Amino acid sequence: MDPFYKYHVFFCLNQRDPDAARPSCANCNAQAMQEYAKKRVKQLGLAGDGKVRINKAGCLERCELGPVVVVYPEGTWYTYVDEADIDEIVDSHLVNGKIVERLLIDQPVV
């Protein structure tokens, strides 16, 4: 059975107290980056059934490696810093199906 979306992308938006023992993605501009990715995917005509879905997620338990985003169905985990990194993930992975090696936090499960 084919997945409902070609790519389903989850951005961790978990918010912890800035003084918490573990970092949180929300303290690394994750909300703005998720919104940016969603807007960019829509602008490129990639959003919708059978295409790409950009979602918010709670804690994905990769806090020390964050901020994190995971792309399914491959289970490709990325970190990012800014809009340029998000553009690279969108353009390379979501448009062309090529993993952005420099942003990987571990190898995808295939």
Residue 52: give its domain's CATH number.
Answer: 3.40.30.10
- Is residue 86 classed exposed, middle or buried when 0-12, 13-18 and 19+ CB atoms within 10 A define those classes? buried
Per-residue pLDDT tens digits for 15-35: 887 777 777 888 889 999 999
Within a domain: 2: no
Per-residue pLDDT tens digits for 57-72: 999 988 788 899 999 9
Question: In total, how many domains does the chain have?
Answer: 1
pTM of the model: 0.90
Within a domain: 44: yes
HSE-CB for 96 with a 13 A CA cutoff: 8
Question: Residue ranges of the alpha helices (H) in 17-103?
Answer: 30-43, 83-88
> First-to-last CA distance in the chain?
17
* Residue span of the structural domain in which 57 resides: 7-63+80-103
**DSSP-assigned letters across all residues of 4-22:** SSSEEEEEE-----TTSSS
